[in-house]
A and B are shown apart, each in its own frame.
Chain A
Amino acid sequence: MQVTMTVNGTEVTRDVEPRLLLVHFLRETLGLTGTHWGCDTSNCGTCVVLVDGEPVKSCTALAAMTDGHEVRTVEGLAQGAAGGGTLDPVQQGFMEEHGLQCGFCTPGMMLTARALLDREPDPDEATIREAISGQICRCTGYATIVRSIQWAAAHPAAAPTEQEVVA
């Protein structure tokens, strides 16, 4: 079957098997491997992308279900030039506050954070924790992810900054 959707601002049309999961459509059909896959049961949230601005677990959606919708992946977070550009404050926040270690859950966490901040620019800690509660991180123990999102909230127009140095 044919599906047409907007991915990171660009309209794409592809022939796919009806059973193709959105996560595999993004990763394998479009080659956007920043979206990861981590479980079979919609528990881990590694695969979260934004569909029309809302966080969706892309392992639990068919590509066909997003036909006609807008999908945003981690590759669409930074503004400007492909592969670089100006980082979203959320991306900058994760680097500033050590919100990532192995980096595997990070794209999903950042997209959920983006959706949260779009809806609620200055969330408190409890709200942040609840927002990311559908997602698992095995490395960070979450506190630095919370701080990363707080950093992004405090720097809504962040540009890349110099490395912080505390000897």
Chain B
Amino acid sequence: MTTVQERSPMPQEREPNPALTDPSRPIGFGRVQRKEDPRFVRGKGRYLDDVVLPGMLHGAVLRSPMAHARLVSIDTTEALAHPKVHAVITGKDLEGLNLAWAPTLSADVQAVLATDKVRFQGQEVAFVVAEDRYSARDALELIDVEYEELPVVIDARRALDPGAAVIRDDKEGQTDNHIFDWEAGDKAETDAVFARADVVVRQEVVYPRVHPAPMETCGAIADYDPIDGKLTLYETTQAPHAHRTLYAMVAGIPEHKIRVIAGDIGGGFGNKVGIYPGYVCAIVGSIVTGKPVKWVEDRSENLMSTSFARDYIMKGEVAATRDGKILAVRTHVLADHGAFNATAQPTKYPAGFFSIFTGSYDLEAAHCSVTGVYTNKAPGGVAYACSFRVTEAVYLVERMVDVLAQELEMDPAELRLANFIRPEQFPYKNKTGWEYDSGDYEPALRMCMEQIGYADLRREQAEKRARGELMGIGVSFFTETVGAGPRKHMDIVGLGMNDGAEVRVHPTGKAVVRISVQTQGQGHETTFAQIVGEELGIPTEDIEVVHGDTDQTPFGLGTYGSRSTPVSGGAVALAARKVREKAKAIAAAMLETRPEDLEWEKGRFYVKGDPSAAKTISEIALGAHGTVELPEGVDGNLDAEVTYDPPNLTFPFGAYICVVDVDPGTGKVKVRRFVAVDDCGTRINPMIVEGQIHGGLADGVGMALMEFIGFDEQGNCLGGSFMDYLIPTAMEVPDWETGYTVTPSPHHPIGAKGIGESATVGSPPAVVNAVVDALAPFGVTHLDMPCTPARVWAAMQGRPTPPI
């Protein structure tokens, strides 16, 4: 008996995929509008506070008004008696669950709710769960806490004084406020170069405490199901998978019973990397009450308690020849980590990537040492688009190069041009052990100078100086260090810094991409679709990007340190290429030829020498899922998954020039122009690239001129609201001017280097250098950020720098 196998009709005689020739359906790299925008412009984003679950309760955190005090007693009786209050949780309650302290991302512990002492103003003391957010706040007022005030340590310079109060007496054997000492580079070699140098300049440079302050504050909704033991946690997180693993390790809930969902995130900038006490409290609140519990911090809580950034006191030194050859740099840094060491950085790097402070210059030697200390301030340190402290490194070296230029009476742009690492030196190994992947610095700086009209500006400045007008031109050139990172060097609490991606092409040729990184505004839903489209020839609009849900995406460490494109982008490109290889085998079977006889052009395979014998990717997809006789070893789908371990970091770079005018009567700085020339390697979506740069430039102007988290002598936070923590509005920033060069990364699958933090890293020194340049006639050689009118005016009078 003969069986006739019925075959469904195959699309063998079809026209070429019309999508390939349809300009309204763009494929791959280029400027396209974002896929996420239609919901955002209609107010249909789904941010954390928009999520409402049935029966949901609301949490609020009681915080310490004092910076350092012993907890004598907490009386929650009245709060519990409030008719709408369901629970009040204190540190004592958490002790019973072994949750009063939680591990940080830096091998320290942090109090979830205080049990013994409070160690910074705004620290979490108690958690109220009530029926609505207003009642929860009301009940906070009903909790009676007795504190016994202790001496505070606010100035990091005094933290190691013999008589300083010991903040972390909870740590066994801790008798002072010292956290770590760390160094990089060759000290003896560096000292020897300094000893024989013609010129040595020194300057203490402070990168003050600032805050990422995304427009959406941090929050969580915990929904614990006691029947199946599953915790669903909605969070404002940049790293959903890492959070899930940490909760499993800390809370004892099995990892497969935890689902972390990060919906739309209203900006992150590093503020949403860590796990905050409020998240843990929401989980406990849900377990205790049996209902979903939402906790969303207010702005003051965000500024006073969640991850700050910077707070580095850097003693910079540069050795050079009299004719302007920079020989070596060295520095000692005092790093203020606040009351708990909770910085989020790779384990082996307690000062992040600060040792990249050799910048863009070819040096003979370099050495840095960093001492970390505890103070009575909020924990954090690695945040605000800092690329793991490259911000501090770039600010130091770019400020110091200007100090040297002033000393040598050389033009700061010319001094930089004379000392750049040359293109033929790449890959370039610097003196602290980093291998820069690729770079071509001089064309970028020359383009920037050309675009802004550097020579004309210097002439204008000379004329204005003659008239007593204050105009400054600030140059900065940065090399970024992003895409962490290779697992042999980099992990966070033991988790290798890799990311997974999965590409599935559906039978009809549409695709879904699942990624482990999380967008907070960077446009992942668009750019990751473009990467897949570029590799497979599928229109962007036909590719759905899934992210922000640990039940639906492969494991990976998340979005921070500009690592999405360098790491996850690599994973996506390689997964798409695996799909393409598979498609090739299937196409060969469909065309009855050998894979090696096929050529690829975007979107289809054709037989070498016979372009009419071709199969488009959608035809192949249908074949893969259909009844095509598959080659041996090929299964019936068009899917692939890759976890990408980058071989090295990527090193974007850029040249920035800023022009400022200073009002001689008030000291007010006006940023007149800002030209940014960036090189991030391959540009996936130029519109998004430019948007990322613009945002970072505004950050730079903000930090240079306005943003500051200060403290008074009692440890009261002076930057705890947007009335005090000043962020630039449209009035304080100019219309940005941008340019670009393209130097692809040689080791990245698509040559992309990442762009998210370049401008935040590179722009502050350009602005400060411009301000100092404007004040040069007064003999000013340095001014610490923020360059407020009071500080600028004091500098003009030769007076000491006021607090802000």
Residues of A within 8 A of B (CB): 17, 19-20, 24, 27-28, 31-41, 43-44, 46, 73-75, 77-78, 83-84, 87, 91-92, 94-96, 98, 100-107, 110, 125, 128-130, 132-146, 162-167
Contact = CB atoms under 8 A, between A and B. Distances in A.
A102 B731 contact: no
Contacts of B26: 163, 165, 167
B698 A142 contact: yes
Nearest to A91: B41
B302 to A, nearest CB: 9
B712 to A, nearest CB: 19
Contacts of A40: 298-300, 721
B43 A134 contact: no
Contacts of B42: 34, 74-75, 77-78, 83-84, 87, 91
Interface of B: 23-24, 26, 29-34, 36-45, 47, 49-50, 52, 133-134, 212-217, 264-267, 269, 298-300, 520-523, 686-688, 690-691, 694-699, 721-723, 727, 729-731, 733, 735-736
Contact of B217 (A38, A145, A163): A38
**Which 8 residue pairs across A and B have the least CB separation, nearest first?**
A34-B43, A102-B521, A104-B266, A103-B40, A141-B694, A74-B43, A101-B521, A43-B722
Contacts of B721: 39-41, 43
Which interface residue of B41, B47, B298, B521 has the most chain A CB atoms within 10 A? B41
A38 B727 CA distance: 13
Contact of A104 (B29, B216, B687, B695): B216
Contacts of B727: 136, 138
Given A98-B687, A102-B520, A130-B731, A141 B695 contact: yes
A105 B26 CA distance: 29
Nearest to A106: B40
B352 to A, nearest CB: 22
28 contacts: A27-B50, A33-B49, A35-B43, A39-B721, A83-B42, A87-B41, A94-B37, A95-B34, A98-B34, A100-B41, A100-B521, A103-B264, A106-B41, A129-B730, A129-B731, A137-B215, A138-B267, A138-B269, A138-B695, A138-B699, A139-B267, A140-B694, A141-B736, A142-B698, A143-B733, A143-B736, A162-B24, A163-B33
A163 B24 contact: yes
Contact of A110 (B36, B41, B214): B41
A80 B602 CA distance: 40
A139 B266 CA distance: 9
A146 B730 contact: yes
A134 B688 contact: no
A104 B215 CA distance: 7
A138 B214 contact: yes
B31 A164 contact: yes
Contacts of A92: 41
A165 B45 contact: no
A75 B686 CA distance: 30
SS class of chain A's interface: helix, strand, loop or mixed?
A: loop
Given A39-B722, A138-B213, A141-B695, 18 more contacts: A24-B133, A33-B47, A33-B50, A39-B299, A41-B723, A44-B215, A77-B42, A91-B41, A98-B34, A98-B687, A102-B521, A104-B216, A129-B730, A130-B731, A135-B729, A138-B269, A141-B696, A141-B736
Contacts of B33: 95-96, 163-164
Given A101-B522, A142-B733, A145-B730, A43 B723 contact: yes
Contacts of B47: 33, 36, 104
A67 B133 CA distance: 23
Contacts of A104: 45, 47, 214-216, 266-267
Contacts of B44: 34, 83
Contacts of B213: 138
B266 A134 contact: no
A95 B133 CA distance: 34
Contacts of B266: 36, 38, 102-104
Nearest to B27: A167
Nearest to A130: B731
Nearest to B36: A103
Contact of A163 (B32, B52, B735): B32
Contacts of A28: 52
A36 B34 contact: no
Q: Which of B24, B267, B687 has the most CB of A within 10 A?
A: B267
Contacts of A36: 47, 49, 215-216, 266
